[in-house]
Amino acid sequence: MSLVGQWRAIEDDLPAGWGEARLSLAVADEARRSRAAGLLGPLTPGRSGGTLRISAVRHRAGASPAAVTRALSRLDDERIGGELSLVSTEIAPTVEAAPRTAAAAAWRAALETLPSDWSDAWVEARFVSTDHVEHAALLCAPLNPARTADGFGFRFRTARRTGYGASGEMATRCFERLDEQGIQATVEILRALSETQHVHTQGPVWYVDGKVV
């Protein structure tokens, strides 16, 4: 069975509410084992004797189940065989999650928090799983989304009339695309300015964590 097939079989047997699955990959050929470790690099694998250790994580920072699938598929593509086994499972702690709603409705609700004369805003959209972010960013490509450090959302700029950033109408249409795909989100206005005057510029410059946004 392929490594991806082994992972899917393990994933299907995981208990409901699992948060982290720790896995062991045994590759008998030492030379191929080194290559496997390189291909698994994005998962930051550990090594113990003749095995490689990786983890799949849900609902918090770490390698998502989809990321594990993609990494293992690279080994399958190079015909690197091995035995994948489950070492341990951690149940995700029960926490009160922030309410998720239809993305377009969340965006409109966020806009209602702004003053009537707002001109520029820096916005964050967050999703219940990192698995949604890549697809959501593709659907919202006109917003020029920048992924958040924890991987659970993206940020973008919007301008009400002129300047740098997508228009509010474009943002609405992008969030409606998320609704069409059943991708729920929370939306928060992180920063906002009112009545900015653009004199030979594209608008205000914001510095966040030492970077221009």
Q: Which domains are delineated in the chain?
A: 3-91 (3.30.70), 103-199 (3.30.70)
Q: Cα-atom radius of gyration of the chain, to the nearest Å?
A: 21
pLDDT of 39-67, one tens digit each? Answer: 999 898 998 888 999 999 987 777 889 99
Cβ atoms within 10 Å, residue 72: 27
Amino acid, res. 81: G
Q: Provide mean pLDDT across the span 133-144.
A: 94
Token pair recorded at residue 104? 């377009």
pLDDT at 199: 65
Partners of 208 in the beta sheet?
211
pLDDT of 71-87, one tens digit each? Answer: 999 999 999 999 999 99
Specify the higher pLDDT residue, 114 or 205.
114
Whether the predicted model's global pTM rises above the 0.85 cut: no
Q: Provide mean pLDDT across the span 82-94.
A: 88
DSSP string spanning 178-199?
HHHTT--BEEEEEEEEES---S
Specify the higher pLDDT residue, 185 or 162.
185
pLDDT at 116: 87
pLDDT at 201: 67
